[in-house]
Amino acid sequence: LPEDKQTLVTGESEVQEKIELPKDFTLLNFASESDPDVKAAWRYIYSRGLTDKDIWYFKLGVSNEAKWKRRVIMPSFDCNGVLNYFVARAIDKEKKPKYDNPHIDHRSVVFNEISIDWTRPLVLVEGPFDMTKCPENTTALLGSDFSEQHELFNRILLHNTPIYLAMDGDMWDTKMPKIYKKLTEYNLEVKVVDVRPWGDPGNMSKLEFGDAMKEALS
């Protein structure tokens, strides 16, 4: 395959998709203020408690392409600043699916790698938009499973990075214990942040998440 393509095998079929942002992708800060969809995106962002600083930090943007319209797009870049993934979150409750993204094997992706400091404690959350309420040294699993099959897992092992697990509340008694066990099998320092009262980190304020981190359990 060409270098700019990756493959996800689903059953007997292969789905290939080039990793590139929509051609008209525009950072929200530079999008037309007269566009009603842009105004709606701003309202959604502010309703989630995000600030202008967050919008710059996560490089949030929008597109008018049919597939991505009325979604807030969060891109991800690898350690060399090359786009390696993005997630588009619907701003309307009735829009399905709620999240959309390129069709690649997410296990090969280290989301927001460009901003990760492997020598400092790293917060792990389930989805990218959960990251907006967490410290800057945070990345997303892009799913509910985590093992040696994930590039992120192996980077953590390589650097012996301390971990804060902040999984969604509905994973507390199911997937989260398995992830905790898998990480501690390699003698990693792992603490668990209890977000159950809020459901997931994305529903918290940054202050609330910071307080929950202080109470994290080993």
Tens-digit pLDDT string for the chain (218 aa): 334 333 333 333 344 466 899 999 999 999 998 999 999 999 999 999 999 999 999 999 999 999 999 999 999 999 999 999 999 999 999 999 999 999 899 999 999 999 999 999 999 999 999 999 999 999 999 988 999 999 999 999 999 999 999 999 999 999 999 999 999 999 999 999 999 999 999 999 999 999 999 999 88
| Three-state SS at 6 | strand
**Number of residues assigned to the chain:** 218
Report pTM: 0.88
Hey, how many other C-beta atoms are within 10 angstroms of the C-beta on 104? 19
Cβ pair 71, 92 in contact under 8 A? no
Find the largest Cα–Cα distance for the chain: 54
Q: Give, for 100, the enclosing helix (H) or strand (E).
A: strand 99-100
Long-range CB contacts for residues 53-57, cutoff 8 Å, separation at least 24: 54/132, 55/27, 55/28, 55/29, 56/29, 57/136
Cβ pair 24, 64 in contact under 8 A? yes
